[in-house]
Amino acid sequence: MAKKRKTKKQIKAISEKEFIFNFLSLTIIIIIGLYFGARSFYYYSKQNMAIKADSSTLNGLVVSKNKLVGSGDGLHRDSDGYYFKGDVTSNYVSFGNRLFRVLRINNDNTVKLVSNDLVSSFMWGEESSYEFSNLKYWLNATEEANSGVYYNSLPNPEKFLVKTSYREDILDDGKVKASKNSYSDYVTTLSVSDYVLADGKKGYLKNNKLFYLLGLTKDKENLYVDEDGSVKNCDSLEGYGIRAVITLKKDLVVASGDGSFDRPFVVDQGDNVNFVDSYVKLGNDIYKVYQESPEGVLKMYMDGYASFGGVEILRNYSPTNSIFNLGDTKNIANYLNTTYFNALPYASLLVDNFYYTGEISAENNYKYANIYNSYVICKVGLLNVFDYISNNDLNDYFHMNTTSTVGGIQYVSFNNGLLGEASVSEIKHFVPVISINKNILKVGNGTKSEPYTLEGINA
């Protein structure tokens, strides 16, 4: 049966109902849009007013000096705050005489930093878990004896740092799966989550060196970054570079800088300064301080390799003995503290110090604390595998530590971050370590261009 056509009266009634419905719907949409738009504008204005009011603080300057982007390289926004991604050149920060990169500005305005370069190179440890690794106890001060080598190298860290939260996430087929467990320490290391978020091998965290990442594969293997920036799995007993991560308090003021490599944001530390990572000139030699004792003794390594009259000294560690033996005339320990020491024009300024010689091997589970099981006291030594060192240009040089007291194998470091092994009979560079009292330094500002030195003379 054919349907009846609607009358004009019926059509008019339907049209009026549709108009009222559409009008009400549009009105509701406009009200909702205005409400949420106003809220967004309010919080955006509030946030930017806070940044403008704190334009002298590190968090304020980092945000105000970098344009916020929605994609590509630059400063990004997420639910946790701001973070940098890709090829970035405006997030450099100088703190404690060392250079960092800003990883992110947290929502509470604290600033998370990662060391621009490596701070040491050593093995993760026998267990793949970070909580039981050499890294955790070396980076962060704990109840363990001799822990916190890196933490203790910072000037009054409790005045500048807050704890950094971290997870041991899983990298599976290039994707990061967040761990359910979260921890916090004053110092930790670069995580696979932060590395991937920064765009990995295409991002600013790539530095053409080998370094560990905090995280695991699905098979519980450790992770490291190769020289090309790719993330790979590795054995926990391999020796790679370490990058330190800290979080600065929100109210720290910037003394100078614009965030570039040449003019990093310099955190105003007031009177809370130390000599670590400062340069010292004695004679024609430049040294870099890596340890400052409470008594004012500076332990420092040569910023380069040992030489006489501009000619570099190359020699073996010993024909067969891997122990740093002062009494063995064929051992580098004896050479450094007799022939080499006596030829230094500033020899009278040097003071005795402890040099730890404990072996690092399977017999002691490759734990870094074992280096403190034996030591010598002398005027000239070598770098320990677990010493804090920020000059990563030094290459292929002997350490003091052996892989076994009955073998002829010694640890050596390379400038790409690799910790390797070599026969003690091989000919290599060596990097002398000496100690002086800091009160003899009268002029200079500790930079490489104006190193600390004696008053009126170069020693």
Query: 3-state SS of 367-416?
Result: CHHHHHHCEEEECCECCCCCCCCCCCCCCCEEEEEECCCCCCEEEEECCC
- Taking phi over 0 as left and psi of -120 to 50 as alpha, with beta for the rest, 341 belongs to alpha
Across the range 150-160, mean pLDDT stands at 96
Note whether residue 452 is domain-resident: no
Note whether residue 14 is domain-resident: no
Q: How many CA atoms lie within 13 A of 431 on its CB side?
A: 27
Of 246, 254, 256, the C-alpha closest to 54 is 254
Instruction: Tell whether 262 and 364 lie within a shared domain.
Output: no
Give the separation between CA 34 and CA 25, rounded to whole angstroms: 14
In terms of residue numbers, what domain contains 381?
279-440
Structure token pair of residue 218: 């699905």
Instruction: Tell whether 76 and 135 lie within a shared domain.
Output: yes
Structure token pair of residue 329: 């005339």
Give the separation between CA 321 and CA 328, rounded to whole angstroms: 9
In the predicted model, what is the mean pLDDT of the chain?
A: 90
Note whether residue 409 is domain-resident: yes
Residue 45's pLDDT band (cuts 50, 70, 90): very low
Residue 406's pLDDT band (cuts 50, 70, 90): low
Note whether residue 162 is domain-resident: yes
Scored b (16 or more CB within 10 A) or e, 297-316 reads ebbbbbbbbbeeeeeeeeeb
Instruction: Tell whether 317 and 236 lie within a shared domain.
Output: no
Residue 404's pLDDT band (cuts 50, 70, 90): confident
Instruction: Tell whether 263 and 289 lie within a shared domain.
Output: no
Note whether residue 64 is domain-resident: yes
> What is the phi/psi pair of residue 445, to 5°?
-120, 5
Instruction: Tell whether 177 and 284 lie within a shared domain.
Output: no
Residue 214 contacts residue 192 (beta carbons within 8 Å): yes
Instruction: Tell whether 353 and 218 lie within a shared domain.
Output: no
Give ∠ CA 123-392-397 in degrees, rounded to 5: 70
Domain boundary among 243, 267, 291: 267
In this prediction, residue 363 carries a pLDDT of 87
Q: Which residues contact 289 (CB under 8 A, 6 or more apart)?
A: 275, 276, 277, 278, 279, 280, 298, 299, 300
Residue 222 contacts residue 192 (beta carbons within 8 Å): no
Note whether residue 238 is domain-resident: yes
Instruction: Tell whether 259 and 358 lie within a shared domain.
Output: no
Percentage of residues of the chain with pLDDT beyond 90: 80
Note whether residue 18 is domain-resident: no
In this prediction, residue 75 carries a pLDDT of 98
Instruction: Tell whether 183 and 308 lie within a shared domain.
Output: no
Q: Which residues contact 373 (CB under 8 A, 6 or more apart)?
A: 358, 364
Give the separation between CA 394 and CA 320, rounded to whole angstroms: 25
Instruction: Tell whether 343 and 420 lie within a shared domain.
Output: yes
Q: Tokens 């009105």, residue? A: 27
Instruction: Tell whether 99 and 224 lie within a shared domain.
Output: yes
In this prediction, residue 51 carries a pLDDT of 41
pTM: 0.87
Instruction: Tell whether 286 and 165 lie within a shared domain.
Output: no
- The number of distinct structural domains making up the chain is 2
Structure token pair of residue 8: 């004009």
Structure token pair of residue 123: 């093995």
Note whether residue 15 is domain-resident: no
pLDDT at 33 over 80: no
In this prediction, residue 43 carries a pLDDT of 42
Across the range 413-419, mean pLDDT stands at 96
Residue 391's pLDDT band (cuts 50, 70, 90): confident
Instruction: Tell whether 302 and 431 lie within a shared domain.
Output: yes
